[in-house]
Amino acid sequence: MAEIQLIEAPAPHQQPPDYTRLNDLACSKVGGCIVFASDDWFAEAENLLKPNIPEWKEGVFTEYGKWMDGWETRRKRIPGHDWAIIQLGVSGVIFGVDVDTSFFTGNYTPRISIQAANLKKKFPSRNGKPGKAATEAEYKKIAALNSENWETIVPISELKPGYKTSFHNFFRVKRQQLWTHLRLNMFPDGGIARLRVYGQAKRDWSLVDKDTVVDLVAMVNGGVCLGSSNAHFGHPRNLVAPGTGENMGDGWETARRLDRPAVLTADKSGVLQVPGCEWAVFRLGCPGVVKEITLDTRHFKGNFPDSCRIEACNIPLSGEQQALSVMSGPPWKTLLLPQKMTPNREHHYKDEVQTIGTISHIRLFVAPDGGVSRMRIWGLKEDVALASKL
Ligand SMILES: NC(=O)NC(NC(N)=O)C(=O)[O-]
C-alpha cells in the first residue's frame, strides 16, 4: 500500500468560520422543519432547510412572481415584520449560523435576528406553499409559544445581498446551551435562500446501555468534524450524517491531487503506487471502544479512493487543540490498517479493527484522494463524564 504523507490544511484566512465544519442541526436531511411562517408569498420557508446549495432559474416565474430558491415574503403593506419558527432536526448546542442570501438581490432581507428555545414539545411539520400567508387560527395557535420572548442568540443584524461573492452572512452564537427551536425574524420582509445552523447534537449518554453498540461518531450522537486537508467537492461532516448518502454531493469528496504522477505504476505484486493522501479528523460524541467500522463509497464510482485507513487517539477535550495541531505526531494509533476500496459499495470491517482501547478522536485517511459517502464507527461508550462536556 502507498506510503501516506500528511499535507497541510489551507491557511486560516482562506477558510469560512471554524464552526462551519460542525453539523447543520436544522437541515431537512436530519429532520429539521418549519412549524410556522407568517408569509410564504413568493417562496415557502421550507426552502431554508434544503440540504443542497441554492439554485437560480433564469426567466422562470410562478403565478406569484419570480421563482426563487429560498424563503421570500411579499413586500409588506401592513404593520409588523415576517418571522418563522423552525424545529431543529437534532437538538443541540449552536456555535454559529449562516444566513445565506444567494440570488436575493433587490429582494433580500436587509436585517434579521434569531431567537431560540428549549421546548419539550415536538410539532408536526407544515406543508408551506407559495401564495399563502398565515391565517388568524395559525397565529392564535403559535401565540401559545410566546416566541417573541425567546432568548436572542443573534441580535438584529444586517445582511448582505446574495450577489455571487457575498451570499454568506455568518453570525457566531455565544450562548452555548441546548436548543430545540428557533425563531427567525426578517426585518421587515424579503428573501433568504438558506439558514444553516452549525452545532453539536447533545445526546444523553446516561440513557445508553453500556453493552449497546452505537455509532460513536454519528452526528445525532454528538460526533463532529474538526478539520480536514481538503473538502473541495463535499464536506467531511457529511460522513457522519444519518442514513445513506443521497448523491455524490452528500459525502466527503476531495479534489484530485495535483501531485499525482503523469503515468501510474504498480509494484511487483501489482499494488498501485499512488503518492499522498487527504485526511479528516472527528471528535466522537462519546469516548468508547470500537468494535466495527463501516466505510461506504456509495455514488463514488469513478472517484472512490484507492485505499482508506483510520487512526485514533484518546485525549481530553482540554488538550484537543494542541494534540490535533500536531498532525503527524503521537498520540495517534492505527485503528484500521490501509484497506483497498471498491466503488459504490459499503465496506464493513470487524476483524480488521485493531484493539487499542478507549478512543475519543479518529482521523480518516483517503489515499490518494477521492470520495466516501458515510463512515460509521461502531462501539461501546466508555467515559460518560467526558462526553457530557462540550
Ligand atoms: N423580481 C422580483 O424578484 N420581484 C419580487 N420577488 C419575486 N420573487 O418575484 C419582489 O418584489 O421582491
Give the pLDDT confidence of 155-207 residue by residue, as tens digits.
999 999 999 766 999 999 998 899 999 999 999 999 999 999 999 999 999 99
Looking at the CA of residue 43, tell me the nearest atom of ligand 1: 8
How many other β-carbons are positioned within 10 Å of the β-carbon of residue 201? 24
- Which grid coordinates belong to 134? 398565515
Q: Which CATH architecture has domain 206-388?
A: Sandwich (2.60)
Looking at the CA of residue 67, tell me the nearest atom of ligand 1: 8
Query: How close is the Cα of 260 to the center of ligand 1, in Å?
Result: 48
Among 40, 42, 61, 77, residue to substitute to test ligand 1 (most atoms within 8 Å of Cβ):
42
Among 66, 67, 72, 103, residue to substitute to test ligand 1 (most atoms within 8 Å of Cβ):
66
Looking at the CA of residue 191, tell me the nearest atom of ligand 1: 12
How many other β-carbons are positioned within 10 Å of the β-carbon of residue 283? 21
Please tell me the CATH code under which domain 18-201 is placed. Answer: 2.60.120.260
**Residue limits of CATH 2.60.120.260 in the chain:** 18-201, 206-388
Strand partners of residue 227:
281
The residue whose C-alpha atom lies closest to atom 1 belonging to ligand 1 is 66
Per-residue pLDDT at 305 exceeds 60 = yes
Per-residue pLDDT at 76 exceeds 80 = yes
Q: Is the CB of 65 under 6 A from ligand 1?
A: yes
Q: Which of 262-271, 273-282, 327-336, 357-366 has the lowest mean pLDDT?
A: 327-336
Model confidence, pTM: 0.90
Structural Rg of the chain based on CA atoms: 22
Query: How close is the Cα of 358 to the center of ligand 1, in Å?
Result: 56
Q: Is the CB of 107 under 6 A from ligand 1?
A: yes
The residue whose C-alpha atom lies closest to atom 3 belonging to ligand 1 is 66
Q: Is the CB of 57 under 6 A from ligand 1?
A: no
Strand partners of residue 228:
280
pLDDT score of 43: 98
Query: How close is the Cα of 65 to the center of ligand 1, in Å?
Result: 6
| Mean pLDDT, residues 278-296 taken together | 97
Q: Is the CB of 75 under 6 A from ligand 1?
A: yes
pLDDT score of 152: 98
Looking at the CA of residue 61, tell me the nearest atom of ligand 1: 9
